[in-house]
Structure 1
């Protein structure tokens, strides 16, 4: 069943008009007819079944409230990624959304090869936000991640958080294996977890010092060296394993 997000709060029995974007995808592309059903998530992350009740130049849907499943990660995860090359930002955004991320921040790292020109940042963020929203619908999530840009890591580290980690290549090379697990075991539901990843060029010593000065812990991501687009996904999978799959139901 298709899932769409609403920008407003909804209630059981509401009749709503489809937005142009939802109308185009559900009615024009998928050829939904009167009586067809889809899922709708309102602005407060509540789930509804929607039945298409009228159809013409516009369309209306009648909403029925249904139990909201626990599909979101129990902690609020922000991944912070040094600007990657080519289309990797789109890949990271899409896959991280599928894995449950709450926020994605791309930053101009000291050793980033890629650069975002100031006059193009807004356009890039619009594109990435659209990808995140589409991925959230595809993954049947209840929340859509935000995507933003920071000029450097120092700007990112002004973000409030409860626990912060930095995935550091040298930690992996030195055989560090326990810090990530220790940090994840210490996180409690509802907390904000910040995870920092470098670009293809790696993380500079100055950035390591900055992160540690604000309380971030250096962690390895297993014994192998991961690509810049792979590391955040490894991390999010580890978060799910420790905080979702290994927890008693």
Structure 2
């Protein structure tokens, strides 16, 4: 069943109105008619709805029933990602959303090649928000990850509100002494409801000054296997491990 996130102001007690891109998808892509069922989500709650009336630019739906869903990670994960080249950011946001990411922060770092001016930044953020919305619908999530404006590493720590601060560094991956259990030990310290910040560097990795800064701010290095991962692979490894631990392995322990 197709899923759509509909803003709360478009809902009433018994029905809702769908507009814009979702209207186009329902009418022109899916070719839906009156009587077809869809799932609509608002404020983290999902409902089965029925297409009732299709007008020129709106689709009116009747609310049939509330769903009791639980597709969200039991922990909150914020990803702070050093800006990569090309369209890698699109992939990172899409796949991280599928894996349960809650919040995404693009980082301007010492070795970042890409530079965003204000105009380019706004367009990029709007695109990432659309990607996150579509990925949330595809993966049947109840919330859409929030996309933050670009920050520097120092700005990231202006108002820290995280229970765990992790940084994925290739220097740790290269150190084969006593590292095999490091990430597992970190995950073992996380409790349900905790908020984790994961910091990933750009293609060139972290500068020495950034590693020192992160260490001074009590960030813990995590090893994502013994191999050096690309910047777009590292966050997916980390999120997959968190999902497996909390949603598949730990739920059976």
How far does the alpha carbon of each residue in 1:87-111 deviate from its partner, in whole angstroms, 9 at most, with x for none? 1111111111111100111111111
Question: Structure 2, unaligned stretches of length 5 or more?
Answer: none
- 2:50 corresponds in structure 1 to 51
Contact 1:166 1:216 in 2 (8 A): yes
Contact 2:11 2:17 in 1 (8 A): no
Deviates more, 1:224-233 or 1:113-122: 113-122
* 4+ residue runs over 6 A deviation: 9-13
- 1:117 corresponds in structure 2 to 117
Q: Distance in 1 between matches of 2:150 and 2:125?
A: 11
Q: Distance in 2 between matches of 1:11 and 1:186?
A: 41
- 1:160 corresponds in structure 2 to 161
Q: SS at the partner of 1:188?
A: coil
How far residue 9 of structure 1 moved from its aligned partner, in angstroms, is: 7.4
How far residue 14 of structure 1 moved from its aligned partner, in angstroms, is: 1.5
Q: Distance in 2 between matches of 1:76 and 1:164?
A: 12
Q: Distance in 1 between matches of 2:163 and 2:16?
A: 39
Contact 2:83 2:89 in 1 (8 A): yes
How far residue 237 of structure 1 moved from its aligned partner, in angstroms, is: 0.1
Q: Distance in 2 between matches of 1:207 and 1:18?
A: 46
Q: Distance in 2 between matches of 1:19 and 1:190?
A: 34
RMSD between superposed Cα atoms in Å: 1.7
Contact 1:162 1:193 in 2 (8 A): yes
Contact 1:77 1:102 in 2 (8 A): yes
Contact 1:10 1:42 in 2 (8 A): no
How far does the alpha carbon of each residue in 1:64-121 deviate from its partner, in whole angstroms, 9 at most, with x for none? 2333221111111001111100111111111111111001111111111222123321
Question: Structure 1, unaligned stretches of length 5 or more?
Answer: none
- 2:66 corresponds in structure 1 to 66
- 1:169 corresponds in structure 2 to 170
Residues 1-249 of structure 1 mapped to structure 2, 5 A cutoff? 1-8=1-8, 14-43=14-43, 45-57=44-56, 58-158=58-158, 159-175=160-176, 176-248=179-251
Cα pair distance change 1:12/1:244, threshold 3 Å: farther
Q: SS at the partner of 1:248?
A: helix
How far does the alpha carbon of each residue in 1:48-74 deviate from its partner, in whole angstroms, 9 at most, with x for none? 001011223232101123332211111
How far does the alpha carbon of each residue in 1:109-146 deviate from its partner, in whole angstroms, 9 at most, with x for none? 11112221233211110111111111111111001011
Q: SS at the partner of 2:232?
A: coil
